[in-house]
Structure 1
Amino acid sequence: MGRMARSCIQSVLKLMNSLIGMVGIAMILYGLWMIRDWQRQMSHRPSPFVGPDSPPPWFMYTFLALGISLCVITCSGHVAAETANGCCLYCYMLFIFFLIVLEAAVTADVFLNHKWEEDFPADPTGYFDDFKHFVKKNFEMCKWIGLTVVCVEGLCILLAMILKALGPHQERYYDSDDDYSPDRVPLLKNYVHPPYVVGDPIHRSKNDSWQIKINDKANK
């Protein structure tokens, strides 16, 4: 029963972790599209924002870096769920915790600080303003997407804690009774290997019958 529950929790953790990976892949694709579109615009026309003193296009590279970070966390989560190793699970929970803290800090700054836009540097690409307008226009959808992501991250931490409490598979090598060996079965402490016989086995019943015939001939 414990092994079945452990396998079920591992599967659910992998599924929840895959949702985080899908968000990371979407962010990577959007970041690559922004970089490609920015490079195409710069090649067609000169821009006053391009120069030694111009601000860097931080938004699209930050978006790309966050997507890569989510994919790395997803890979570590799959490894932790598969192995159920305590160290891997602790590292995975720590990564998710830091991600939730970062999301909470940004959300609190946006909702509590009316001049939150001044906390971010100027974006010469204009994609930051486009993203801000998109969120304001589709606020309800973006709100539920954000809440869903946070709930999935919290559920991943909870499942990792339960999996850590259950521990790794203790019977993963005991697939059948024929594979048992003395060093894997602690109950068989005085187990002795049967002797190996080269050639045809000698049956006691046959030896006894031959011995009786030899004795009868000697008596005659």
Structure 2
Amino acid sequence: MGRIVRSCLQSLLKLVNSAIGMVGIAMILYSLWMFRIWYKQIDGDHFPIPWFIYAFLGLGITLCVITCSGHIAAETLNGHCLSCYMVFVFLLFLLEAAVTADVLLNRHWEDDFPEDPTGRFDEFKNFVKLNFEICKWIGSLIVAAQGLSIFVAMILRALGPDHGSYYDSDDEYAPARLPLLKNHVQQIPYVADPLFPLKNDSWNKNRQ
């Protein structure tokens, strides 16, 4: 029963990680598209890449790395890997909470960010405003997936790795080894050296 529960939790953690990884891949693709548009706009001139593109690319790569670490932790059930994974997700959750609180509570939150010469940041902001309900549900799902991943990782860390398979395998192969051990331990019948009986017989005859 414990093995079935552990296997279901592993599959659930991998599924939640896949959702987080898909968001990371989407952010990487969007940042690459913004790179392409930016290089077309500057027309070969050398200008620094805007922070908004770097932020999207860095966050997408971070999500993909966290997803890979989560899959490794779910597969190996290593306590250290699960702990590192929970710390990474928790730090990302704190970062998202800080940005959300700044946007919601600070009226002049735009002043906290550097200027974006590409205008992509304004486009993204307008897109969120026009599709606020959809973006709200997507953000809620991402936060729920992160919270669920931390919860499942905590349960898997508490359960620990499955050692039952090793004991079962030892019990299955133990009867096959017993006859070999018995044969090995069984004493070999003593065979007398033919030279010594001759000596003993001749010695006994001399005594007689």
* TM-score normalised over the length of structure 1: 0.77
1:21 aligns with 2:21: yes
Distance 1:133 1:161 in 2: 38
| Aligned residue number for residue 35 of structure 2 | 35
Distance 2:161 2:118 in 1: 49
1:136 aligns with 2:124: no
| Aligned residue number for residue 204 of structure 1 | none
Provide, for residues 92-117 of structure 1, a one-character-per-residue CA deviation record: whole Å limited to 9, x for no partner.
00001001100000000000000000
- Report matched runs for 1:71-220 at 5 Å: 71-173=64-166, 176=169, 177-180=171-174, 193-195=181-183
Structure 2 gaps of 5+ residues are: 185-208
Distance 2:165 2:5 in 1: 14
2:126 alignment partner AA: H
Q: CA RMSD, aligned part only?
A: 2.4
2:20 alignment partner AA: I
Distance 1:143 1:128 in 2: 18
1:64 aligns with 2:57: yes
Distance 1:73 1:108 in 2: 23
Count the aligned residue pairs: 183
Cα offset, 1:24, TM superposition: 0.3
- Quick check: which one's helix share is greater? 2
1:11 aligns with 2:11: yes
